[in-house]
Amino acid sequence: MYRDIVEWRGQNPPPASMMIISDQVVRDGDLSWDLARLQQRTQYNLVLAYSKERYDSSSDVLTSGRWEWKKLLGSEDNNNNNRIETRIELSAMLCCKSCNFECQSRVKFRKYLSSYKHARQEYVYPTRSEPDRVTENWGRHYPAAATPEHAAAKILVWWDMFDCPIPEVYDARRVRPSIEAAFRKLGYSGPVSITAYGDFNVTPDHVLRGLTSTGVDVAHTIYDVTYKRMYGDLLEGQESNTTPTNIMVISDTHKIFAFATVGLPQKQKHKLFLAYSCRPYKMLNLLTCAKWLWHSLLEEEVSEERKYIGESESRAMFYSKLCFCDWKGPDYKSRLDDFKTHLLSEEHAQEEYKITAFLELKRKMRNLSLLVQYDREQWREANFSY
């Protein structure tokens, strides 16, 4: 089935619509991983039908409509069903994929399926249960070079400093020019916007100044809510953005971000890039144009003058993602001082404590719920065993 889907896509370029009736398109289904990657490169209008058991399951493949299979069948009256059956009798092609046998007669087809020849062919050439993943080599061969549409498009970088911190002996002023240099090598010259998420209460002052003096925005957060704040900001910035954009995520939570961002290239003309401190053990369903190891990205050659942008020229913004405050005034020193003062304030400390306490309570309640569930199951087994 999947081979035929891929073949049809090759013969029918978009705009075009496809309907797939299968439970294997939901997340972790046999078709989901490869189809999601195909859709990121070439977008078709997809509609799906599932069984009742899988209807509420999420999918990495964006669709314009979906139905529960039995309800879809029940939507036609008997007269329509009769007309459809007559049309099928006249025009439908009946195929055996194991034998490459085709005919249009139901009687002949049933006779063939019960024949010795068919049983023999199916034994020698069994149908594979798993589909051939046509995008499996795209991680190595997918074109990273910029297309004319994306070459001058803006580049948005979302950086998790908990997973990918700045090495101790590294000059923080090199981060921005190193990222820009990596993109320039691939032909991307658009304006770069970088937002760094981290705990800036414990970040050394020279690191904070080094980043912000080169125009890197900083967003204070704590480890447990970093991903949620990053992803929320990423979506907020893209919902109203219909222009082609290059999006880069620097984080080791690549599997979570892959699930979260896989829809962006399917819905809008965005290109995705990743950087991480260690390579994922399994290929992601996210189709990226380039991937870097964090330490190798920081080793990009940059000119000395790119490291020394005067603080007065910096347009860096400061955020507290716990208190939802920001500092965007014209004077860099005032913005920096106000940001640092806020992080040391009682108001900020209380907000941080409330979030930490809530998350701890949530973890305890979850563990308690699991213990109750376990006790209930053990009680049932003990009572039914007698």
Tell me whether residue 71 is in a domain.
Answer: yes
- Give the pLDDT band (50/70/90) at residue 303: low
169 and 306 in a single domain? The answer is yes
Is the peptide bond prior to 15 cis by the omega test (within 30 degrees of 0)?
yes
Query: Could you tell me which residues come within 8 angstroms of residue 64 by beta carbon, excluding any fewer than 6 positions away?
Result: 45, 46, 47
Share of the chain above pLDDT 70, in %: 79
**Span 171-180, mean pLDDT?**
93
282 and 248 in a single domain? The answer is yes
172 and 307 in a single domain? The answer is yes
321 and 368 in a single domain? The answer is no
Tell me whether residue 385 is in a domain.
Answer: no
| Local structure of residue 189 (DSSP, 8 states) | -
According to the model, what pLDDT value does residue 313 have?
62
According to the model, what pLDDT value does residue 88 have?
47
- Give the pLDDT band (50/70/90) at residue 260: low
193 and 333 in a single domain? The answer is yes
209 and 254 in a single domain? The answer is yes
Tell me whether residue 262 is in a domain.
Answer: yes
- Give the pLDDT band (50/70/90) at residue 290: confident
102 and 153 in a single domain? The answer is no
Q: Give me the chain's average pLDDT, please.
A: 81
96 and 239 in a single domain? The answer is no
Interval 216-226: pLDDT, tens: 999 999 998 98
Closest CA to 223 of 163, 142, 304, 138: 163
Tell me whether residue 62 is in a domain.
Answer: yes
337 and 352 in a single domain? The answer is no
Tell me whether residue 131 is in a domain.
Answer: no
363 and 320 in a single domain? The answer is no
Interval 109-167: pLDDT, tens: 999 889 988 888 888 877 766 777 766 666 554 556 778 888 899 999 999 999 999 99
Tell me whether residue 139 is in a domain.
Answer: no
pLDDT at 354 over 90: yes
Q: How many CB atoms lie within 10 A of CB 354?
A: 11
Tell me whether residue 129 is in a domain.
Answer: no
pLDDT at 191 over 50: yes
pLDDT at 183 over 90: yes
According to the model, what pLDDT value does residue 196 have?
95
Alpha helices (runs of H) in 160-225, residue ranges in sequence order: 175-185, 205-213
191 and 271 in a single domain? The answer is yes
Domain CATH code at residue 291: 3.40.50
pLDDT at 268 over 80: no
Tell me whether residue 193 is in a domain.
Answer: yes
Domain that holds residue 214: 147-342
Q: Give the count of domains, the chain.
A: 3
- CA 193 to CA 179: how far, in whole Å? 10
Interval 62-89: pLDDT, tens: 777 888 888 888 755 544 555 545 444 4
Query: DSSP assignment of 360-375, as one string?
Result: HHHHHHHHHHHHHHHH
107 and 153 in a single domain? The answer is no
